[in-house]
Chain A
Amino acid sequence: MEVELRIRRYNPEIDEKAHYESYSVEAEPNDQVLDLLNQVKWYQDGSLAYRRSCAHGVCGSDAVRINGVNRLACKVLVRDVGRKITIEPILGLPVEKDLVVDMEPFWEHYRSVMPYFVSEEQEPEGERLQSAEQRQRFDDTTKCILCAACTTSCPSFWADDEYVGPAAIVQAHRFIFDSRDTAADERLKILAEKDGVWRCRTIFNCTIACPREIKVTQAIGEVKTAIATGDNK
């Protein structure tokens, strides 16, 4: 079937400002939206720029706005979105070219929450023991692929890009609730500051946007509770 793609284009070397271009491509209902972008790039206009790699929803390269909703282009099929598809870059980060945004502000927030394992305890010869229940406590937030779909769907982030954003909080959550980690207090202190979790207004856009189906709003809520109660069990 024929599908009409409307793509927001911007080339800083040519364009004063962004504009939309339309392309018609042949597609099957099972094609990914990424396949359609590839059809345009490979056979109609090679200058179209976007990021992609794994093409099955695990590398996190291709978060874009599809018909107004943040999605991974490789995880949305034509049958899910129909014959008229508008594709735009994710919001709240500077556009570098077409669908490619400058991710550095996102990574800066990521790095600010100590997104790495810390343990003051002596390493055993074998593994540290952890019960299946303790492991399950933070399972959901280990799924994050850092695609930025959540953070760039968040109105609080759009309003103030100093807000650390949902993805960084998800990363912090993954360590705060890991029974082996000993730096929860430091992370909770960082997230209790003015650009931390209290900027979240529980709008739930992040949860809807997450291609990994992480319960992002719930994770943020758990971090808020941990700050309020001092309990990260």
Chain B
Amino acid sequence: MATEHQHEVLIVGGGGAGLMAALYASKGADTAVLTKLHPVRSHTGAAQGGVGAALGSEEQDRPEWHTYDTIKGSDFLGDQDAIQFMCEEAVATVFELEHMGLPFSRTPEGKIAQRYFGGHTNNDSGKPVRRAAYAADRTGHMILQTLYQQCVKHDVVFMDEFQVMDVLVGDEGVAGVVAVELATGELHVFHSKAVIFTTGGWGRVWEITSNAHSYTGDGVAMTLRRGLPAEDMEFFQFHPTGIYRMGILITEGVRGEGGVLLNNDGERFMERYAPTIKDLASRDVVSRAMYLEMRDGRGINGGRYLYLDVRPDTVNKYAEIDGRTRPDGSPYIVTGEEILAKLPDIIDFARTYMAVDPIIEPMPVQPTAHYAMGGIPTTLRGEVIRDEQNTIIPGFYAAGEVACVSVHGANRLGTNSLLDIIVFGRECGTRAAEYTKGADFLPLPSDAEAMVRKQLEDLRGGEGSEKAATLRKEMQEVMFDHVSVFRTKEGMSQSVEKIQELKERYLKIRVDDPGNVFNTDQLEAWELGCLLDVAEVTAVSALQRTESRGAHAREDYPKRDDQNWLKHTMAYQDESGVTLRYKPATITKWKPIERVY
């Protein structure tokens, strides 16, 4: 028998979105946070460059420009009402973080410092604008630490290292979740009025990724298994600058500080692809340009990587060519010390993992699987919806990378993920607490933990002819080869078949560890099941979309097709496979136009 607990609000996931939700939900309701990792281990802490908000610390900026840049960045698939809401909330929300003590870097006047980031522009001039509020190159770390500190201050209840494996949800609402306590292997049923999913992304579907080992798509897999749809799963962002072969993220802030991408001829090739903002184009645009350079033999020594060059001489050379200036109008000239002071962690990563000192050598980089634009569909209030008519499931909320509001559409702009987690984390926390006031606990189903128990018994009782690690590797390779930056019908069909074969073979896994205490063997095998479900939905959704939009670029359908495809995919999964339906994107006042940078 599982141990039973009761709270009004349960939050699943202790990253930035979960902690923000916890701070707000716990003001008005009895709240607990269930996390697979201790909260400070969450992947929010790996975000580097900044959080987007039109503060105008360094130069003129406006929330409307941020809104439009985000819509354009999304390749017009993002829901415009939600984007406008997020960008308007951004300014006050970043100040709120400062009030919580977040140690932002500062301008000479003592204001929050801001830097350039891809796709963020002055809409009058079309030139880049400094919109990314930052704390050196560890902005995500400082957001995560600050929010956790505030949770400690306000006595938020945490259940650390509790792996949630099922959500008890139906059309009428949620009744709670089922979790395994990692330290003991014991099953726990948590009964609640409201559930907020803030479980993060699934970059571990791909071979080369910036994402943590723990980023395995648990949240989406759980809702798919309960018959709920996943939205826009074909849109997964490949960040242009991952450390070659390892995928570790090198922030776009490097280019914001004046770094450039170079090919084997030493050419700053982004000039050809994005004449106005060059290296600061959107991530999808830059990653595609890199693939084309490498395909045409201009990778470094003909290989599958390019150089990211932030040596002071290089930065100063191109700053002069671009006519770049400081906010006070003086020419932009940097020293090695300034680069080191603004990007200390990046310098450290390069030295540690590549034995490269970026002050004196360029860094070898390649695109790396980075961020899920798609996920659990929600309204702009964070309410989870269950169909194309936007029908709300009472008491169920989602925020952050696991959710698809959609504010990122087909491609997310850098800095908007940190903004997303704080704005929509807060929104979910507030709404969930309000919801509990007028709601009763739904009855728990009898034998609430049955589905989880069955999943775990299967993993322990399989015939043992397959190993989770082998299947995971095969999935990551096929998805990286065929469902990544450029896609074709043949490649994606092959991936769908391969994933379906892997799902069959998954049934033959038997975990080595028969024990209960910290059985991470069992956990990893369970996570692989999530990854496979998510990979299948991603590949099927991608195969069906016969156009190129944002991060979904098809060689066989190279143009965007607004006539047929200005709509969100809603994917449902069951034992027979994936069913796709669609709903329109929300357009308020910005008409889709061709996207050039």
Contact = CB atoms under 8 A, between A and B. Distances in A.
Contacts of A119: 99, 101
A145 interface: yes
28 contacts: A11-B515, A13-B515, A46-B512, A49-B520, A53-B214, A54-B43, A54-B45, A54-B212, A56-B46, A56-B246, A56-B349, A57-B352, A59-B41, A59-B42, A77-B353, A96-B183, A97-B518, A103-B38, A115-B149, A116-B150, A123-B99, A128-B98, A131-B106, A132-B108, A132-B110, A138-B103, A139-B136, A181-B101
Interface stretch (A37-45, A156-164, A197-205, A220-228): A37-45
B101 A42 contact: no
A129 B214 contact: no
Contacts, number: 154
Interface in A5-61: 11-14, 30, 41-43, 45-47, 49-61
B290 interface: no
Contacts of A82: none
A178 B349 CA distance: 27
B282 to A, nearest CB: 24
Contacts of B512: 45-47
A84 interface: no
Interface in A52-76: 52-61, 75
A143 interface: yes
Interface string B133-151: 0011010011001100110
Interface in B183-225: 183, 212-214
Contact of B45 (A100, A117, A145): A145
A98 B103 CA distance: 37
Nearest to A144: B145
Q: Interface of chain A, helix or strand or loop or mixed?
A: loop
Contacts of B248: 55-56
A57 B344 CA distance: 13
Query: Could you say which interface size class chain A belongs to?
Result: 35 or more
A131 B135 CA distance: 14
A46 B468 CA distance: 10
A194 interface: no
B319 interface: no
Contact of B138 (A13, A54, A143, A180): A143
A115 B152 contact: yes
Contacts of B559: none
A54 B46 contact: yes
A125 interface: yes
Interface in B221-251: 246, 248-249
Interface string B109-145: 1111000000000000000000000011010011001
A142 B101 CA distance: 11
A116 B214 CA distance: 27
B141 A127 contact: no
A80 to B, nearest CB: 9
A87 interface: no
A127 B517 contact: no
Given A53-B43, A145-B141, A180 B101 contact: yes
Interface in B492-545: 511-513, 515-521, 524
A135 B135 CA distance: 10
